[in-house]
C-alpha cells in the first residue's frame, strides 16, 4: 500500500515532462494518490494533457493564478470532483526575461510586481481559496530555491527576492493554518534543467558548479524532489510545518566554496 493511498492531491504548475511538478506527480501516482493537475495557460494544454493521461488523472484544469475569479472557480471545480483535498502543491514561479538578465537594480516596477504576484501571492490566494476544502491533516507545499532566497545567486535577481517572500509566506501560512492541523512547507531544490531554469542567465555554469561543489558531488533530479514531496504529503511528516526542506545534495551547507580537487598548500 502506498504512502498516499486514498489521499486527494492537487498539483499546480505542471508545464512539461521536465517540470519539478512532473517529478512530484509521478511520485504521488506511485504512492497511490488520486491526482488533480492544473496548468498555467492554454498554450501548455497540449503538453499537459498527455502527461495527465499517463498517470490516469481525470481532473485537469487551466488556472491563471493572477485572476481571483479563476482561482475561485478552480477551487469549486476541485471540490466538486474530489470532495475534500489532502495535498496542495504550488509549483509556480515567473519572472520576465529582462529581470533575469539585467542587474537587479534595473528591475522594472511592473516586472517586480508581476514576479511577486505570480510566484508568491498565488500561494496565499490558492491556500485561501482551498482552505474550506482541505481536510484536517492536509499538507500544503511550495517550491523554492534557498540559495537564491537567503543568499545571492547571480542572475536570479527578482526571483531570489520572490523566493525569500515565498519562504516567509510559508512560515506565516503554517502559523495561520496550524490550529486546523494543516501544515505548510517548502522544498528547496538544487538547480534542475527545467523550462523555468532556461530563462536564468549563466544557468549552465551554475549547474556544473553545483555538481562539483556539493558534498554529494551530483546534481538533483525531479525524481529526488518527488520523493521529498511524498514525505511532506504523507502522514510521516505529521508534525513538520513552516520548514524549508533542502533537496540539494548538501550544497546549502557549504560556506567557502573551493575546488575540491585543488591541492592544499
Residue 148 lies in a domain: yes
257 domain residue, yes or no:
no
Question: Does residue 77 sit within a domain?
Answer: yes
The pLDDT tens digits along the chain (265 residues) read 899 999 999 999 999 999 999 999 999 999 999 999 999 988 899 999 999 999 999 999 999 999 999 999 999 999 999 999 999 999 999 999 889 889 999 999 999 999 999 999 999 999 999 999 999 999 999 999 988 999 998 889 999 999 999 999 999 999 999 999 999 999 999 888 665 655 555 656 766 778 888 999 999 999 999 999 999 999 999 999 999 999 999 999 988 877 766 655 5
82 found inside a domain: yes
Instruction: List the catalytic residues.
Output: 145, 156
Query: For 241, phi and psi rounded to 5 degrees?
Result: -150, 155
Task: Indicate whether 228 belongs to any domain.
Answer: yes
Q: Check: CB of residue 183 under 8 Å from CB of residue 240.
A: yes
Domains in the chain: how many in total? 1
> Does residue 37 sit within a domain?
yes
Q: Which residue has the cell 514531496?
A: 229
| Cβ 158 vs Cβ 115: under 8 Å | yes
CATH of the domain at 172: 3.40.50.720
Q: What is this structure's pTM?
A: 0.93
The parent domain of residue 190 ranges over 8-250
3-state DSSP assignment of residue 38: strand
Domain assignment present for 1: no
Amino acid at each position: 500500500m502506498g504512502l498516499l493511498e486514498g489521499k486527494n492531491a492537487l498539483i499546480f504548475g505542471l508545464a512539461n515532462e521536465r517540470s519539478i511538478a512532473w517529478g512530484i506527480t509521478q511520485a504521488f501516482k506511485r504512492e497511490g494518490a488520486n491526482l488533480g493537475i492544473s496548468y498555467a495557460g492554454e498554450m501548455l494544454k497540449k503538453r499537459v494533457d498527455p502527461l495527465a493521461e499517463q498517470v490516469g488523472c481525470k481532473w485537469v484544469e487551466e488556472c491563471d493564478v493572477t485572476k481571483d475569479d479563476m482561482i475561485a472557480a478552480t477551487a469549486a471545480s476541485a471540490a466538486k470532483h474530489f470532495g475534500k483535498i489532502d495535498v496542495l502543491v504550488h509549483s509556480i514561479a515567473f519572472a520576465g526575461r529582462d529581470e533575469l538578465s539585467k542587474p537587479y537594480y534595473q528591475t522594472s516596477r511592473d516586472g517586480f510586481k508581476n514576479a511577486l504576484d505570480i510566484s508568491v501571492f498565488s500561494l496565499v490566494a490558492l491556500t485561501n481559496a482551498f482552505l474550506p476544502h482541505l481536510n484536517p491533516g492536509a499538507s500544503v507545499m511550495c517550491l523554492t530555491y534557498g540559495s537564491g532566497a537567503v543568499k545571492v545567486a547571480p542572475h536570479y535577481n527578482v526571483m531570489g527576492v520572490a523566493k525569500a517572500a515565498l519562504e516567509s509566506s510559508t512560515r506565516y501560512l503554517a502559523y495561520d493554518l496550524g490550529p486546523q492541523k494543516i501544515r505548510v512547507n517548502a522544498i528547496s531544490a538544487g538547480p534542475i534543467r527545467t523550462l523555468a531554469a532556461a530563462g536564468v542567465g549563466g544557468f549552465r555554469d551554475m549547474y556544473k558548479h553545483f555538481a562539483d561543489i556539493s558534498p554529494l558531488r551530483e546534481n538533483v533530479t525531479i525524481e529526488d524532489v518527488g520523493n521529498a514531496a511524498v514525505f511532506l504529503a504523507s502522514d510521516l511528516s505529521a508534525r513538520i510545518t513552516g520548514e524549508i526542506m533542502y533537496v540539494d545534495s548538501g550544497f546549502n551547507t557549504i560556506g567557502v566554496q573551493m575546488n575540491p580537487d585543488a591541492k592544499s598548500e
